[in-house]
Amino acid sequence: MVIATIATTDIAAAQAVGLKFQSGPSTPAVTGYGYYVGPFSGTVTSNPTLPTISLYCVDVLNSIKWGQQWTANVSSLTGSLALTRHGDAKRAQYRKAAWLTTQYSLNATTQWAGIQAAIWNLLNPGLPNGGSAENYWLGQANTFASSSGYDAYDWSGFRIITDVGAAGRKQGGGTQEFITIHDPHVTPEPATIVLLATGVVGIVGMVAVRGVRS
Protein backbone atom coordinates (compact mmCIF):
# COMPACT_ATOMS: atom_id res chain seq x y z
CA MET A 1 0.00 0.00 0.00
CA VAL A 2 1.34 3.41 -0.93
CA ILE A 3 0.92 6.21 1.58
CA ALA A 4 0.50 9.65 0.04
CA THR A 5 -1.46 12.87 0.22
CA ILE A 6 -3.85 13.74 -2.57
CA ALA A 7 -2.49 16.43 -4.86
CA THR A 8 -4.32 19.75 -4.80
CA THR A 9 -4.57 19.54 -8.61
CA ASP A 10 -7.17 16.80 -8.26
CA ILE A 11 -10.59 16.59 -9.89
CA ALA A 12 -12.47 19.88 -10.05
CA ALA A 13 -16.18 19.91 -9.33
CA ALA A 14 -18.96 20.53 -11.87
CA GLN A 15 -17.45 18.53 -14.71
CA ALA A 16 -17.69 15.08 -16.27
CA VAL A 17 -14.50 13.01 -16.28
CA GLY A 18 -13.35 9.65 -17.58
CA LEU A 19 -12.23 7.25 -14.85
CA LYS A 20 -10.71 3.80 -14.54
CA PHE A 21 -11.23 1.60 -11.48
CA GLN A 22 -7.70 0.48 -10.73
CA SER A 23 -7.32 -1.60 -7.62
CA GLY A 24 -8.69 -2.89 -4.38
CA PRO A 25 -8.47 -1.41 -0.92
CA SER A 26 -5.26 -2.96 0.37
CA THR A 27 -2.78 -5.81 0.19
CA PRO A 28 -3.96 -8.21 1.42
CA ALA A 29 -7.55 -7.24 0.70
CA VAL A 30 -9.72 -6.32 3.68
CA THR A 31 -13.21 -7.76 3.66
CA GLY A 32 -16.34 -7.35 5.72
CA TYR A 33 -19.79 -8.93 5.45
CA GLY A 34 -18.58 -10.73 2.33
CA TYR A 35 -17.46 -7.57 0.50
CA TYR A 36 -14.18 -5.74 -0.03
CA VAL A 37 -14.00 -2.66 2.21
CA GLY A 38 -11.78 0.38 2.54
CA PRO A 39 -10.30 2.86 0.07
CA PHE A 40 -9.96 1.89 -3.58
CA SER A 41 -7.94 3.66 -6.24
CA GLY A 42 -8.59 5.00 -9.70
CA THR A 43 -7.09 7.05 -12.48
CA VAL A 44 -8.57 9.96 -14.41
CA THR A 45 -8.39 8.74 -17.99
CA SER A 46 -9.65 12.06 -19.35
CA ASN A 47 -6.61 13.78 -17.81
CA PRO A 48 -3.63 11.41 -17.43
CA THR A 49 -1.54 14.17 -15.80
CA LEU A 50 -3.59 13.88 -12.62
CA PRO A 51 -2.39 11.56 -9.84
CA THR A 52 -4.02 8.33 -8.81
CA ILE A 53 -7.05 9.16 -6.68
CA SER A 54 -8.62 7.42 -3.73
CA LEU A 55 -12.20 6.19 -4.16
CA TYR A 56 -14.43 5.50 -1.16
CA CYS A 57 -17.58 3.57 -2.00
CA VAL A 58 -20.88 5.01 -0.73
CA ASP A 59 -23.11 2.75 -2.79
CA VAL A 60 -24.07 -0.81 -1.83
CA LEU A 61 -26.79 -1.27 -4.46
CA ASN A 62 -24.63 -1.18 -7.59
CA SER A 63 -21.35 -2.72 -8.73
CA ILE A 64 -18.11 -2.20 -10.64
CA LYS A 65 -15.30 -4.39 -11.99
CA TRP A 66 -11.51 -4.21 -11.69
CA GLY A 67 -10.21 -2.20 -14.62
CA GLN A 68 -13.64 -0.91 -15.60
CA GLN A 69 -13.76 2.51 -17.26
CA TRP A 70 -16.69 4.88 -17.04
CA THR A 71 -17.66 8.54 -17.25
CA ALA A 72 -18.72 10.29 -14.07
CA ASN A 73 -20.08 13.64 -12.96
CA VAL A 74 -18.07 15.34 -10.22
CA SER A 75 -20.02 17.14 -7.48
CA SER A 76 -18.70 19.13 -4.52
CA LEU A 77 -20.26 18.72 -1.09
CA THR A 78 -20.57 22.51 -0.96
CA GLY A 79 -22.30 22.77 -4.35
CA SER A 80 -25.31 21.29 -6.07
CA LEU A 81 -25.83 17.55 -5.62
CA ALA A 82 -28.41 17.31 -8.40
CA LEU A 83 -26.17 14.96 -10.41
CA THR A 84 -25.61 12.50 -7.56
CA ARG A 85 -27.70 9.40 -6.93
CA HIS A 86 -29.48 10.85 -3.89
CA GLY A 87 -29.49 14.59 -4.57
CA ASP A 88 -29.44 17.63 -2.30
CA ALA A 89 -31.94 16.07 0.12
CA LYS A 90 -29.19 13.70 1.30
CA ARG A 91 -26.44 16.31 1.76
CA ALA A 92 -26.23 15.61 5.50
CA GLN A 93 -25.82 11.88 4.87
CA TYR A 94 -23.16 12.47 2.20
CA ARG A 95 -21.28 14.70 4.64
CA LYS A 96 -21.36 12.09 7.38
CA ALA A 97 -20.15 9.52 4.86
CA ALA A 98 -17.36 11.88 3.79
CA TRP A 99 -16.25 12.33 7.39
CA LEU A 100 -16.26 8.56 7.87
CA THR A 101 -13.92 8.13 4.90
CA THR A 102 -11.29 10.06 6.86
CA GLN A 103 -11.48 7.47 9.63
CA TYR A 104 -9.92 4.67 7.57
CA SER A 105 -6.42 6.13 7.87
CA LEU A 106 -6.90 6.76 11.61
CA ASN A 107 -7.99 3.24 12.53
CA ALA A 108 -6.72 -0.31 12.18
CA THR A 109 -8.06 -2.41 9.32
CA THR A 110 -10.09 -4.39 11.87
CA GLN A 111 -12.33 -1.30 12.08
CA TRP A 112 -12.78 -0.91 8.33
CA ALA A 113 -15.76 -3.24 7.97
CA GLY A 114 -17.74 -1.23 10.53
CA ILE A 115 -16.75 2.07 8.92
CA GLN A 116 -17.76 0.82 5.47
CA ALA A 117 -21.06 -0.61 6.69
CA ALA A 118 -21.91 2.72 8.31
CA ILE A 119 -21.11 4.60 5.10
CA TRP A 120 -23.34 2.29 3.07
CA ASN A 121 -26.12 2.50 5.66
CA LEU A 122 -26.18 6.29 5.57
CA LEU A 123 -27.27 6.32 1.92
CA ASN A 124 -29.04 2.96 1.92
CA PRO A 125 -30.59 2.44 5.38
CA GLY A 126 -30.70 -1.17 6.53
CA LEU A 127 -27.89 -2.32 4.22
CA PRO A 128 -25.75 -4.29 4.75
CA ASN A 129 -26.82 -4.67 8.42
CA GLY A 130 -23.36 -4.61 9.94
CA GLY A 131 -24.59 -5.00 13.50
CA SER A 132 -22.77 -3.45 16.46
CA ALA A 133 -19.72 -2.34 14.44
CA GLU A 134 -21.93 -0.47 11.97
CA ASN A 135 -23.96 1.07 14.79
CA TYR A 136 -20.79 2.23 16.55
CA TRP A 137 -19.56 4.14 13.51
CA LEU A 138 -22.99 5.54 12.74
CA GLY A 139 -22.94 6.82 16.31
CA GLN A 140 -19.50 8.36 15.78
CA ALA A 141 -20.71 10.13 12.64
CA ASN A 142 -23.83 11.41 14.41
CA THR A 143 -21.76 12.62 17.36
CA PHE A 144 -19.47 14.52 15.01
CA ALA A 145 -22.48 15.98 13.18
CA SER A 146 -23.80 17.41 16.43
CA SER A 147 -20.44 18.84 17.53
CA SER A 148 -19.07 22.33 17.06
CA GLY A 149 -16.41 20.84 14.79
CA TYR A 150 -19.06 19.88 12.24
CA ASP A 151 -20.09 23.50 11.66
CA ALA A 152 -16.47 24.55 11.19
CA TYR A 153 -15.49 21.62 8.99
CA ASP A 154 -14.26 22.36 5.47
CA TRP A 155 -16.40 20.19 3.17
CA SER A 156 -15.14 21.87 -0.01
CA GLY A 157 -12.41 19.29 -0.52
CA PHE A 158 -14.74 16.32 -0.96
CA ARG A 159 -16.02 15.21 -4.36
CA ILE A 160 -18.87 12.80 -5.13
CA ILE A 161 -18.18 10.69 -8.21
CA THR A 162 -21.44 9.61 -9.88
CA ASP A 163 -21.90 7.73 -13.15
CA VAL A 164 -23.35 10.11 -15.74
CA GLY A 165 -26.38 7.85 -16.12
CA ALA A 166 -27.14 7.57 -12.42
CA ALA A 167 -28.36 11.00 -11.27
CA GLY A 168 -31.36 10.54 -9.01
CA ARG A 169 -31.28 6.74 -9.32
CA LYS A 170 -30.53 4.65 -6.25
CA GLN A 171 -30.03 1.56 -8.36
CA GLY A 172 -29.14 1.07 -12.01
CA GLY A 173 -27.77 3.69 -14.34
CA GLY A 174 -24.17 2.56 -14.32
CA THR A 175 -21.42 1.98 -11.78
CA GLN A 176 -21.18 2.51 -8.07
CA GLU A 177 -20.96 5.96 -6.52
CA PHE A 178 -17.80 7.08 -4.73
CA ILE A 179 -16.40 9.90 -2.65
CA THR A 180 -12.87 11.17 -3.25
CA ILE A 181 -10.83 13.86 -1.52
CA HIS A 182 -9.72 16.83 -3.59
CA ASP A 183 -7.78 18.66 -0.88
CA PRO A 184 -5.50 16.97 1.68
CA HIS A 185 -6.37 19.61 4.26
CA VAL A 186 -9.94 18.38 4.74
CA THR A 187 -8.81 15.64 7.11
CA PRO A 188 -9.50 16.26 10.81
CA GLU A 189 -5.84 16.51 11.85
CA PRO A 190 -3.10 18.34 9.90
CA ALA A 191 -0.83 15.31 10.14
CA THR A 192 -3.46 12.90 8.86
CA ILE A 193 -2.55 11.13 5.65
CA VAL A 194 -4.79 9.55 3.06
CA LEU A 195 -4.13 5.92 2.17
CA LEU A 196 -4.06 5.13 -1.53
CA ALA A 197 -4.09 1.50 -2.63
CA THR A 198 -2.03 1.59 -5.81
CA GLY A 199 -0.10 -1.66 -5.80
CA VAL A 200 -2.66 -4.40 -5.48
CA VAL A 201 -1.94 -7.52 -7.49
CA GLY A 202 -3.46 -10.94 -7.55
CA ILE A 203 -7.08 -9.85 -7.13
CA VAL A 204 -8.94 -10.39 -10.36
CA GLY A 205 -12.43 -10.68 -11.71
CA MET A 206 -15.56 -8.91 -10.49
CA VAL A 207 -15.32 -6.53 -7.60
CA ALA A 208 -18.63 -5.47 -6.39
CA VAL A 209 -17.50 -3.66 -3.40
CA ARG A 210 -21.18 -4.60 -3.21
CA GLY A 211 -21.47 -7.59 -5.52
CA VAL A 212 -18.39 -9.71 -4.99
CA ARG A 213 -18.19 -11.79 -1.90
CA SER A 214 -14.96 -13.14 -0.49
Mean pLDDT of residues grouped by 10 in the chain (214 residues)?
38 90 74 89 90 92 94 96 98 97 94 96 91 96 95 92 97 96 49 30 39 37
Cα(163)–Cα(156) distance, rounded to whole angstroms?
20
What pLDDT, on the 0 to 100 scale, is given for residue 214?
32
What pLDDT, on the 0 to 100 scale, is given for residue 124?
93
Cα(155)–Cα(207) distance, rounded to whole angstroms?
29
pTM to 2 decimal places: 0.82
What pLDDT, on the 0 to 100 scale, is given for residue 113?
96
